[in-house]
Amino acid sequence: MASSSSHIQPKSSVLIVGAGPAGGLLAYLLAKEGIAVTLIERHSDFSRVFRGEGLMPSGQEMFRQAGLWQQFDALPHSTFQDTEIFYKKKLLARQSFSFAQDTLSPRFVSQPHMLEMLVSECHKFKNFSFIKGVRVTKPLYDTANPHRITGVEIKDKDGTHVTKADYVFATDGRSSVMRKQAGLETPHNPESFDIIWCKLPMPDFLGTDTEKKSVRVYFGNGHLGFFIPSYDMLQIGWIIRKGSYKNFKKRGIEGWIKEMSRHVSDDMAAHLQMHSEDFVQPFLLDVVCDFYEDWSVPGMTLLGDAAHPMSPVGGQGINIALRDAVVAANHFIPLLKTAAKASRLDRAAIDFATERSTEVRAIQKLQHRPPRILLGKGIWLDILVLGIQAMQKTGLNKLVFKNFRFENTPFSKGITEVKLKKFR
């Protein structure tokens, strides 16, 4: 179906490498404005072992601004009414997600369905094309200006091909080939922990209504686990020390279940053991939280995890990527629509990175804190927990936290204002 803007003669052509959240939304926003967009994806479909699926209000709002709220809201998802926090198997606190009536709530959304929706919406524009199941091997450089990227080299089953454009966006994730090949790679800074992620059938005691489910967090004795009832199954993220995955593999799934059961509540332990044969194969997520100083070279800009790999803490990866896409659209669309000079595009890349750096750095700083505290051992953590319990018994916690609302935290609403501009 042709869009109302499909009659616009494209002034500039764009390549986007990577059809994740940042690449998919940016492709839609550019194509909607009549810019010729080619989106390139390495995988032949969007089904992968692990994809972050937590969306906060700050990320969901980008779909509303893009005019895609109805399509987004129809995707398979679940929302939550509260978080239950357990310390050494016992319930310590329950935090309700109390949101104002007109405020978006956190939700878990099927990312494969979300990406398929974005590409489907992009296909409504004649100036959009999608190449999937191919591998981008390196950027191409202008023969007249060997420092400027003018396209990419693609490899598929038929051989090697060349695709050129006026500008390139690299949204190919934390292991970005484009970032490495363009010389923007910096020393790897891993976190002190990794996450074993898996799925298993949903327990009824976490809620049967898709709109009223409870997230559980277990910590204590150096262990930390998140149990999230998503739209289809229970997702488990179990935090382990960096480099300790070999010990887990030696134990096997049965040994891991036995170890987890020692640190969760009785009802959850029984559920784990009951469904020991129903686990979706556990997946190791190598946790990285990096910030690359340079997000661009002449002719190309990095977005999302390609520019700043995010920790999974606080479910920020998708949200930051979507916000990157909107800010990039604000900076580049006016220039791409008027076939602006290369120097102006390169200046826009720097301005884009400057605008986004404030929020990304602040969120990453916040992401470092919770694991360090919750993975701790020793009497100081017991003292902290005893203090929390004392506050609950005396009612002091209600006084201290009376003005606390999750919807007002940086993890929920972001740090900076991101608003899609209107283009003529």
Interval 247-270 mean pLDDT: 87
- What is the predicted pLDDT for the residue at 395? 63
- What is the predicted pLDDT for the residue at 3? 40
Look at the block and give the residue holding tokens 């059938």: 201
Interval 202-210 mean pLDDT: 78
| CB distance 338 to 344 below 8 Å | no
Interval 23-46 mean pLDDT: 95
- Tell me what percent of the residues of the chain surpass a pLDDT of 90: 50
- What is the predicted pLDDT for the residue at 4? 38
- What is the predicted pLDDT for the residue at 393? 66
Between these two residues, 295 and 98, which has the higher pLDDT value?
295
Interval 255-276 mean pLDDT: 91
| CB distance 13 to 127 below 8 Å | no
- What is the predicted pLDDT for the residue at 2? 40
Mind listing the pLDDT tens digit for each residue in 328-348? 999 999 999 999 999 999 999
Mind listing the pLDDT tens digit for each residue in 384-395? 666 666 666 666
Q: Is the pLDDT of residue 11 over 80?
A: no
- What is the predicted pLDDT for the residue at 378? 65
CATH topology of domain 193-286+378-408: D-Amino Acid Oxidase; Chain A, domain 2 (3.30.9)
CATH of 13-75+110-189+290-368, one of 3.50.50.60, 3.90.650.10, 1.10.287.130, 3.40.50.1820: 3.50.50.60
Between these two residues, 117 and 398, which has the higher pLDDT value?
117
Least reliable range by pLDDT among 30-39, 76-85, 291-300, 349-358: 76-85
Residues sharing a CB contact under 8 Å with residue 30, sequence separation 6 or more, in sequence order: 14, 16, 37, 329, 332, 333, 336
Q: Is the pLDDT of residue 351 over 90?
A: yes
For residue 62, the Cα-to-chain-centroid distance in whole angstroms is 13
- What is the predicted pLDDT for the residue at 205? 85
- What is the predicted pLDDT for the residue at 65? 96
**Per-domain boundaries in the chain:** 13-75+110-189+290-368, 193-286+378-408
- Distance separating alpha carbons of residues 110 and 54, to the nearest angstrom: 9
pTM of this structure? 0.89
For residue 215, the Cα-to-chain-centroid distance in whole angstroms is 18
Interval 129-157 mean pLDDT: 94
pLDDT band at 296 (very low <50, low <70, confident <90, very high): very high
